[in-house]
Amino acid sequence: MAPMTNRVKHCVERAGHYREGILQEVSKQKTADNSDRSRVATAFISMAAGDFKAILTEIGNDNNGPALKLFRFLYEDVINALWIQAFATDELIKELLHGKNGQVPGYMKDRAKELDTIVAPPPTVQPKETLFVDIQGKLWKAACSYAHGGSLAINRELAGHDEQSLYEVLRTSTNLFVLLMNGMYELHHDHKPNDVLRGLAKSFFAEKW
């Protein structure tokens, strides 16, 4: 296994910088209310933050296979978190929080498409591209292969993980976390942005790794 390159090391450091900055700002904010919807949001934020940290830790330890499996979990937690906050009925929220078998209905690709109608693409996204649908189109098959031990996961484990693949996972994971935390804040505060979170997002999208 080849040692971690300087580029990948730099990406891990920058991703960690944005994760910590975002969580520090969020820790200063009070939850909008004590409703079931807010409690579900708190749970999803905690799950996504854990997914993201685990990805950074595994890649930082040159343990790339598990990190790429974790990417799917992060993507799903981000999509589900934002979709539930934006579109879920009160009945679904109640079922998820208090039921024994509550699940998010439908398909991930459809939830991603719905989210693209309310989340503005960052400046780095081409005009004809969408946001979550674009991410899913580029990475979903690979993420599923890693999560389920498919041919891509097997061959990468044997041949090693190339620098560009790790860069894409780190960059996209940070992208997802930035979008999640900005989106969740705004959904819970009547679409009012948080200046610090918006500033971190603008800095991230403008920064070239």
**Which tops the pLDDT comparison, 140 or 200?**
200
Provide the b/e sequence for 99-110 (b: ≥16 CB within 10 Å).
eeeeebeeebee
Integer Cα distance of 36 and 150 in angstroms: 38
What domain count does the chain have?
A: 1
Structural tokens at position 54: 């685990």
**Residue 178: in which H helix or E strand, if any?**
helix 163-188
| 1 within a domain of the structure (yes/no) | no
Q: Is it the case that residue 84 has pLDDT exceeding 80?
A: yes
Range of the domain at 152: 6-206
Q: Is it the case that residue 123 has pLDDT exceeding 80?
A: no
- Locate tokens 């989210």: which residue? 115
21-76, pLDDT tens digit by residue? 999 999 988 765 788 998 999 999 999 999 999 999 999 999 888 898 899 999 99
142-163, pLDDT tens digit by residue? 888 877 777 777 877 777 778 9
Angle of CA points 162, 167, 8, to nearest 5°: 80
| 133 within a domain of the structure (yes/no) | yes
| 171 within a domain of the structure (yes/no) | yes
| 176 within a domain of the structure (yes/no) | yes
Rounded average pLDDT over 114-135:
76
